[in-house]
Amino acid sequence: MQKTVILNPGREKSLLRRHPWVFSKAIARAEGDPQGGDIVKVVSAEGKFLCRGAYSPASQIRVRALSFAEDEQITPELIAQRVSASCKRREGLVSEGNDGVRLIASEGDFLPGLICDRYNDFLVISISSQAMEAFRHAVIAELEKLFPDCSVYERSDTKAREKEGLEKRCGVIKGDEPPDTLYVKEGALIRIPVDIKNGHKTGAYLDQRASRIYASTLSNDARVLNCFCYTGGFGLWALKGGAQSVDNVDLSRQALDEAKAGVAENHLDPGRCRFIRADVFKFLREQAEKGEQYDLVILDPPKFAESQASLKRACRGYQDINRLGFELTKAGGHLLTFSCSGLVGPELFQKIVADAALDAHVSGIVRTALRQDRDHTVSLPCPETFYLKGLDVEVV
């Protein structure tokens, strides 16, 4: 019997717009006893074909669409073709002097739940969906064919994977064990530290590449505060841009140690930077109470909004931290502020930052809107793939 998912009446609108997610509440019933990773046909309440996708019985996203063409079958060959096409899209970034590049960006490349980053001669894959778990061997085989000289390491250890009913998996798939820290060239000028085995995401935040380079243009002779600094990428570019001083703040001692090592690796002046282990909210309040002021304040916090239920609390958190950021930014200085919460859209984020400026009794002009770099592709019908947004606000 064909495995088919039938929707409740009126729940086909998002699929008609080719949004790739089918939520559990939209489903009336499933026929053919589909199991995790099985390819199912999704039809409307009236029986009209909508898409084919992978079934995930444990997830709220019950089906992830893989094709909206009724005559297209979901095969390992199709997935391999998409892997190849995705990698080809990134060739320009490599030629521009970047050794760290996102090769596959999940729904952004029509491969939902699959991430692949390249760091020098290491490929790091992360699988977070039943859809891509079902095609894991096809994905790995194609990557090995495309990059025969690269080692392949897996970091399938995200919370999203648990929500899909999948066990975590990490380790070498092919080739060498990654070193504790390796460095990747960024913008042909700076070498960014990467911890493949234990670092955040797959080892680095490649999505902020363009914004880090942009920050260097605001840094000449500036006193810089780099909050949630992780391994110090923004701080490295600020020093490269001629910063007078950089205060890097993070709660992780290991991240700060890697940030400090990055300064030496890039032959930058260690006397112009400090590495401060602290809770960022507490540190910002203490600095504001002291009346400290910086020429450039960078706020790049972790995701505050994990779900719709947490959105209101997340907005309060963003407003609070941006108020403190404004209080610490000199008149004529710049606040570089970001949100990686997909549920916080660009308009909402700008409103939050504007409210924070009012709370801080300052005025600001948006000099530039910032976003995830172009290897973190955005699927036109799936706005959730545009998750990282930022603002360069000049305090006036």
Taking Cα atoms as reference points, which of 341, 279, 337 lies closest to residue 304?
341
Is residue 245 helix, strand or coil?
strand
Supply 99's token pair.
Answer: 């050794």
Burial of 169 per CB tally in 10 Å (0-12, 13-18, 19+): middle
Asked if 226 and 149 touch (Cβ cutoff 8 Å), the reply is no
Residues with catalytic function: 340
Asked if 237 and 190 touch (Cβ cutoff 8 Å), the reply is yes
How many whole angstroms from its chain centre is CA 330?
Answer: 30
Supply 132's token pair.
Answer: 């891509």
190-194 and 223-227: which strand pairing? unpaired
In the chain, where do the E strands start and end? 4-7, 21-23, 27-31, 39-43, 49-55, 61-67, 100-105, 114-119, 122-127, 151-156, 169-174, 182-186, 190-194, 223-227, 245-250, 273-277, 294-299, 329-339, 364-371, 389-395
Residue bearing tokens 């064909």: 2
Q: Which residues contact 78 (CB under 8 A, 6 or more apart)?
A: 66, 67, 72
Taking Cα atoms as reference points, which of 216, 280, 206 lies closest to residue 246?
216
